[in-house]
Amino acid sequence: MTDFARPIEAAAPPFAKTLLPLLALALAMAVGFTMMGAFGTVQEGAKAELHLSDYTLSLIQGLSAALPLAVFSIPIGIMVDRYNRVRMMIALAFVWTLGTVLTGLAHSVPLLFVARMLTGIGTTGALTAALSLCADFCVPTQRGRAMLIVNLGKSLGVALALALSGALFGLFAHGRAPAWFAGMMPWRSVHLCLAVVSMLAILPLFLLREPVRQEVAAGTHAPFKVVAGELWARRVFLIPLFIGQISVVMADAAAGIWVSPVLSRTFHLQPDQFAGWMGALLFGAGVVGAIVGGLSADRGQKSGRRGGLLIGAILAAALGVPAALFPIMPSVPLFGVAVGLLVTCGAVTGVVTSVALTVLIPNELRGLCIGAFIAIAGLIGYGLAPTLVAAASGMLGGEAHLAQGLAIVGVVTSAISVVAFTMAMRRAPVSATA
CATH number at residue 356: 1.20.1250.20
With beta carbons less than 8 A apart as the criterion, state whether 96 and 122 touch: yes
Q: Does pLDDT of 379 surpass 80?
A: no
Contacts of 412 (CB under 8 A, 6+ apart): none
pLDDT, position 8: 39
Residue 10 belongs to some domain of the structure:
no
Number of domain units in the chain: 1
pLDDT, position 28: 92
Residue 27 phi/psi, 5-degree rounding, is -65, -45
* Tens digits of residue pLDDT in 304-347: 788 888 999 999 999 999 999 998 898 888 998 999 999 899 98
Residue 76 belongs to domain spanning: 15-206+218-426
Q: Does pLDDT of 5 surpass 70?
A: no
Q: Does pLDDT of 433 surpass 70?
A: no
Return d(Cα 253, Cα 378) in angstroms, integer.
9
pLDDT, position 217: 52
Q: Stretch 267-287: mean pLDDT, rounded?
A: 79
Q: Which of 118-132, 135-149, 384-398 has the highest mean pLDDT?
A: 118-132
* Tens digits of residue pLDDT in 343-375: 899 989 988 988 888 788 877 677 777 777 777
pLDDT, greater one: 7 or 86: 86
Which amino acid is residue 328, in one-letter code? I
Q: Does pLDDT of 90 surpass 90?
A: yes
- The rounded mean pLDDT for the chain is 81
Q: What is the largest CA-CA distance in the chain?
A: 62
Residue 212 belongs to some domain of the structure:
no
pLDDT, position 210: 85
Q: Does pLDDT of 12 surpass 60?
A: no
* Tens digits of residue pLDDT in 35-81: 988 887 788 788 888 887 777 877 777 777 777 777 787 788 888 88
pLDDT band at 225 (very low <50, low <70, confident <90, very high): low
Residue 9 belongs to some domain of the structure:
no
Q: Stretch 124-136: mean pLDDT, rounded?
A: 85
Burial of 284 (0-12, 13-18, 19+ CB in 10 A): middle
Q: Does pLDDT of 179 surpass 70?
A: no
With beta carbons less than 8 A apart as the criterion, state whether 350 and 327 touch: no
Q: Does pLDDT of 11 surpass 70?
A: no
pLDDT, greater one: 230 or 165: 165
DSSP string across 263-326: HHHTS---HHHHHHHHHHHHHHHHHHHHHHHHHHHHHHHHT--TTGGGHHHHHHHHHHHHHTTG
Q: Stretch 419-432: mean pLDDT, rounded?
A: 85
pLDDT band at 215 (very low <50, low <70, confident <90, very high): low
Buried b / exposed e across 246-258, counting CB within 10 Å, b at 16+? bbbbbbbbbbbbb
Q: Which of 209-223, 279-293, 325-339 has the highest mean pLDDT?
A: 325-339
pLDDT band at 434 (very low <50, low <70, confident <90, very high): low
pLDDT, greater one: 267 or 273: 267
Return d(Cα 105, Cα 95) in angstroms, integer.
16
Residue 2 belongs to some domain of the structure:
no
Q: Stretch 291-315: mean pLDDT, rounded?
A: 85
Q: Does pLDDT of 159 surpass 90?
A: no
Q: Does pLDDT of 281 surpass 90?
A: no
What percent of the chain lies above the pLDDT cut of 90?
A: 18
Residue 4 belongs to some domain of the structure:
no
Q: Does pLDDT of 173 surpass 90?
A: no
pLDDT, greater one: 227 or 413: 413
Residue 1 belongs to some domain of the structure:
no
pLDDT, position 1: 41
Q: Stretch 113-126: mean pLDDT, rounded?
A: 89
pLDDT band at 6 (very low <50, low <70, confident <90, very high): very low
pLDDT, greater one: 196 or 167: 196
Handedness of CA 41, 70, 376, 21 (dihedral sign): negative
- Beta carbons within 10 angstroms of residue 156's beta carbon: 24
Residue 361 belongs to some domain of the structure:
yes
